[in-house]
Amino acid sequence: MADDNGPLLPLSRRWRLIMSTVLLGIAVAHVVWPSLAIDALSLGLLGAAIVVIFFDIESFEWQGIKARRLQQEVKEAEKVVDSIHVPQITPALPDPTTEPSSLIVRATSVLEAVHEEPFDLMPPVDRLERLLWGAEQIRAELIIIAGNGGQLPERTSWDRYRSPELAEILAGKDMIPHALVEPVLTVVQLRNSVVHTTRRLPTDLLESASRLAMDVLVKLRQVKRNYIRVRVPNVMLFRDQSLTARYDVAGVMLAQLDDEGAVRHIAVYPRLPNYQMGRFVSWEWSRDPTIRTEAWYHDPRTNRPAPAFRQSMTFVGREYPQQWGIEYRFPRPDVGFVEGDAA
């Protein structure tokens, strides 16, 4: 679907008068000098060329041709989404001890998210607002799926990630169904048509567009993934089991959760940024530094020394904005960082 960029050159009244005068002059010349090679076909082609160059043809039929075309695209996208089967297998997290290239990022600076209390976790009633809300929720969901699986394409601020790019990457990694990419693009284009132009979609098209956004979001929410939550932000790491020689780098205890909120694994890794207890984070790692000897820590659950790792890269995952309300997806919002959780 083409971008809705408006006319190539918006015409002022002066330009319209000039163009009308030119066309009228050609018509008069044809009457005064009949021998000139000007006929009805030539005039028609000239007028058509001017219209094509200077006018946004689609805007003449916004309520007609273009609206019908968009409506058809939305209907086709809805059929595709309805037919998509989302696999119910949770992919394994990449192992940070094997240094896979897809996990490694250059953490030259700490990118901190702005955290606010969630305020719009439920879809709005208004069709237009629901379309805009759905498009943004789709973007956040794609970020979470990519971030939880160690597949974010670059280390940048959360607002700079775009749905089309993330959808293509995740489909290429078989982390979301390939058929879901085109409906995501359709929602983004519809959202842009509303935000970047002064036009308003017809009511029936707006209803279909908002419904499509909700359908796509539901499918993305069905995609199985692991969640990573900060259990203990600051853990002292030691070189020996007797806990007498400390490492210079601090550690972080992370809880790995499944979609149902069950704690699948608890582990301690060296960390670079500072974290806050309970925050959900992306799965990202840096080689600088990489600890290649074993590490130990004091386990608060057993009050005894416990092995952390034999070797590990440094964890540099980023906290997801609290506004996304990830904790409210689970039966217990405090799951993963309270005493008594199973490991």
> Domain-by-domain residue ranges, the chain?
13-59, 61-95+111-221, 227-329
Q: Which helix (H) or strand (E) holds 262?
A: none
Q: Which among 280, 255, 279 has a CA at the least distance from the CA of 265?
A: 255
- Greater confidence (248 vs 29) lies with 248
pTM of the model: 0.77
99-103, 238-242, 289-293, 338-342: segment of lowest average pLDDT: 99-103
pLDDT at res. 312: 92
90-106 pLDDT tens trace: 777 777 766 554 455 55
Segment 141-144 long-range contacts (CB within 8 Å, at least 24 positions apart) = 141/217, 141/220, 141/221, 142/166, 142/167, 142/170, 142/176, 142/184, 142/220, 143/320, 144/225, 144/320, 144/324, 144/326
